[in-house]
Amino acid sequence: MTVLKTLIAAIPRPLLFALAAAIQVGLISVMVYDRVRILREGVEVTLQTRPVDPRDFLRGDYVVLTYEITNLPAGALKDTASKGRGTPVFVKLVRKPDGVYAADSVHAAPVPVADGEALIRGRVVSGAICGADRRRFCETLHINYGIERYFVPQDEGKELERARNQGQVSVVAAVTPAGRAAIKRLLLGGKPVYDEPMF
């Protein structure tokens, strides 16, 4: 340990600050690159939002979103082993005639998809602690996909929340083959109102 301290003490301070700054820039670059990769390479799926309890007001400059695919029947997963809250699951989505994607089935691992289908990865927020051992999937799952918040310009959130609660807001999400999702575009009455920058 004293050798390490001696080596660090021998490095000039400006060089240490430059190294720390380079590490921070590198980490931020990795996060930005990962999001851009999802937006560019992911297949686009349109998801319909659902109303949120009006007591759940805008917090900060983002709108809280919930989807028709948020609360789903567990199907074949019911009574099978889970890892409790936060258990990852994969939801197979199928494009409906109106272009919006709907949940077809929920799985513990990735499954093949055909044209007009996509697989989105989520985590079970509730519905994974049933059974005598409290380590089984329940009948209904509440799933988060990491796309439950959308940041908007200052003072525009309240209007979007009203539209969301009237069922007028939908989201175009990019979904990678591994199931990772990112919001690409926000639609109001079927028309784009916000596009996520590709950097």
Which among 149, 190, 186 is positioned nearest to 171, based on CA atoms? 186
Q: List Cβ<8 Å contacts ≥24 apart for 30-34.
A: 32/199
Q: Are residues 17 and 108 in the same domain?
A: no
How high is the pLDDT of residue 72? Answer: 96
How high is the pLDDT of residue 43? Answer: 83
Q: Are residues 124 and 179 in the same domain?
A: yes
Give 95-106 as a DSSP string: E-TTSBEEEEEE
Judge whether 66 and 50 are in contact, CB under 8 Å.
yes
Q: Are residues 59 and 27 in the same domain?
A: no
How high is the pLDDT of residue 60? Answer: 55
Q: Are residues 108 and 128 in the same domain?
A: yes
How much helix, strand and coil, in percent to the nearest 5, is found in the chain?
A: 25, 35, 40
As for how many domains the chain has, the answer is 2
Q: Are residues 49 and 20 in the same domain?
A: no
Q: Are residues 96 and 168 in the same domain?
A: yes
Range of the domain at 30: 2-35
Q: Are residues 27 and 85 in the same domain?
A: no
How high is the pLDDT of residue 193? Answer: 86
How high is the pLDDT of residue 199? Answer: 60
How high is the pLDDT of residue 90? Answer: 97
Q: Give pLDDT tens digits for 68-110.
A: 999 999 999 999 999 999 999 999 999 999 999 999 999 999 9
Q: Are residues 64 and 31 in the same domain?
A: no
Q: Are residues 161 and 71 in the same domain?
A: yes
User: What is the chain's pLDDT, residue by residue, as a tens digit (199 residues)?
Assistant: 577 677 777 777 787 778 888 888 888 877 777 777 787 888 888 888 876 654 444 455 678 889 999 999 999 999 999 999 999 999 999 999 999 999 999 999 999 999 999 999 999 999 999 988 899 999 999 999 999 988 877 777 788 888 888 888 899 999 999 999 999 998 888 888 888 776 6
CB proximity list for 43: less than 8 A, separation 6 or greater: 118, 174, 175, 176, 177
How high is the pLDDT of residue 15? Answer: 77
What are the tokens at 125? Answer: 């927020």
pTM: 0.77
Q: Are residues 95 and 22 in the same domain?
A: no
How high is the pLDDT of residue 27? Answer: 83
Q: Are residues 62 and 153 in the same domain?
A: yes
User: Look-up: residue for tokens 């940041």?
Assistant: 151
Q: Are residues 11 and 28 in the same domain?
A: yes
- CA 6 – CA 159 distance, rounded (Å): 59
Judge whether 109 and 87 are in contact, CB under 8 Å.
no
